[in-house]
A = this chain, B = another copy of it.
Amino acid sequence: MRGGIDLGGTKIQAVVVNSAGRPVADVRAPTPVDGGPADVARAMASAIRDAAAAAGVEPRALAGVGVGSPGEVDAAAGVVSNVVNLPGWDGGFALGDALASDLGVPVAIGNDVQVATNAEARLGAGKPYSSLLGVFWGSGVGGGIVLNGRPWVGRGAAAEIGHVVVRRGGARCPCGRRGCMEAYAGRVAMELRARQLVARGESTVLFELMEARGRDRLTSRIWAMALEQGDPLAERLVERAVKALGAGVASAVNLLDVEAVVIGGGLGVRFGEPLVHRIREAMMPHLFADDRPPVVAPATLGDLGGAIGAALLVPARGPRLTAQRAG
């Protein structure tokens, strides 16, 4: 069995998967908001220990633990740098070494969105296809590319689909640039826009729902609840996001001509097929080969996709042999 951890800005999702990559246990813990990378690493190790316990295995019996991490990942060195939404993680931190010495097993680290794409490609909605684009629609919009069955990472920073331009000179993106797809479709940007519109006197149930649920930000669930209630402002902002996703994803398909697009992420998983259908429709006016659009499907591994993909970074293998240990 292998362990996998999806390290997010608000939660740490840990899984233990079997030899087929299917989760046999999963544990979720909050990401520490104080301290630094070493504290985050301790919380990650603790989550894996809990998941191993739930799976009925000793952590040391795992073939290894994979991590899907935000920020800049140096996979070979096991170092993660510049994680903007985690406490005190401005420089580089040897996350691989920290976890390996804490847990006593090999650790592999990859980019969070790329491992989630890989999970969907190997075990989820992308399984029938050899080329696909993963679109992770959440606080930002991340992407992952698989071509000929293998991840395409370019020089290490490929698949930044959130920063494909959909309107030159358009809205300011949280990244500081203008007109990025994420400036319209990312949950952070959508919340900012909702707050601006409310400050201008528009009304919405979004922030009432937020307070009723004791949250300080608009989660994917809150957006879904507002849509269910027919809130016009929420509907308008979601439609704006869908239009941007349609243009940006169609641009990516015009370039890559992949067989399939898999839509995941917090909002993607929450909204599911009804919104994926709207994205599919919004792509059509911009698709060059519109007589044979790619399959556009919701992610099927849900919230666990990132952690499962992280576990897949660890090669599957049988029980460790004594001879190898001695050798």
State which of B145, B158, B248, B258 has its C-beta within 8 Å of the C-beta of A165. B248
Closest to A176 in B: B285
Whether A255 lies near B254 (C-beta < 8 A) is: no
CB under 8 Å from chain B, chain A span 167-182: 167-168, 170, 175, 177-180
Say yes or no: is A210 at the interface (Cβ < 8 Å to chain B).
no
Residues of B within 8 A of A170 (CB): 167
Whether B168 lies near A255 (C-beta < 8 A) is: no
Residues of B within 8 A of A167 (CB): 166-168, 170
CA distance A131 to B175 in the complex (A): 26
CA distance A164 to B165 in the complex (A): 9
> A218-246 CB contact bits vs B (8 Å, 1 = yes)?
00000000000000000000000001100
State which of B178, B250, B257 has its C-beta within 8 Å of the C-beta of A156. B257
CA distance A127 to B286 in the complex (A): 33
Say yes or no: is A163 at the interface (Cβ < 8 Å to chain B).
yes
CA distance A175 to B289 in the complex (A): 11
Whether A164 lies near B255 (C-beta < 8 A) is: yes
Q: How far is the CB of A293 from chain B (nearest CB, A)?
A: 11
Whether A257 lies near B157 (C-beta < 8 A) is: yes
CB under 8 Å from chain B, chain A span 141-172: 143, 145, 147, 152-161, 163-168, 170
Residues of B within 8 A of A254 (CB): 160-161, 163-164
The verdict on A154 contacting B256 (CB below 8 Å), with A165-B166, A167-B168 known, is yes
Closest to A131 in B: B154
Say yes or no: is A31 at the interface (Cβ < 8 Å to chain B).
no
Q: How far is the CB of A294 from chain B (nearest CB, A)?
A: 8
Residues of B within 8 A of A163 (CB): 251, 254, 286, 288
Q: How many residues of A contact B (CB 8 A)?
A: 44
Say yes or no: is A109 at the interface (Cβ < 8 Å to chain B).
no
Q: How far is the CB of A257 from chain B (nearest CB, A)?
A: 2
Whether A250 lies near B155 (C-beta < 8 A) is: no
Residues of B within 8 A of A55 (CB): none
Residues of B within 8 A of A248 (CB): 165
Say yes or no: is A98 at the interface (Cβ < 8 Å to chain B).
no
Q: How far is the CB of A155 from chain B (nearest CB, A)?
A: 5
Say yes or no: is A27 at the interface (Cβ < 8 Å to chain B).
no
Whether B257 lies near A168 (C-beta < 8 A) is: no
Q: How far is the CB of A327 from chain B (nearest CB, A)?
A: 35
Residues of B within 8 A of A175 (CB): 288
> A28-63 CB contact bits vs B (8 Å, 1 = yes)?
000000000000000000000000000000000000
The verdict on A154 contacting B258 (CB below 8 Å), with A165-B247, A251-B251 known, is yes
- Interface on A for B, CB 8 Å cutoff? 131, 143, 145, 147, 152-161, 163-168, 170, 175, 177-180, 243-244, 247-248, 250-252, 254-259, 285-286, 288-289, 292
* 20 A–B pairs (Cβ distance < 8 Å), ordered by A: A131-B154, A131-B155, A154-B257, A155-B257, A158-B256, A158-B257, A160-B255, A160-B289, A161-B255, A163-B251, A163-B286, A163-B288, A165-B247, A165-B250, A165-B286, A166-B168, A167-B170, A179-B247, A251-B251, A252-B255
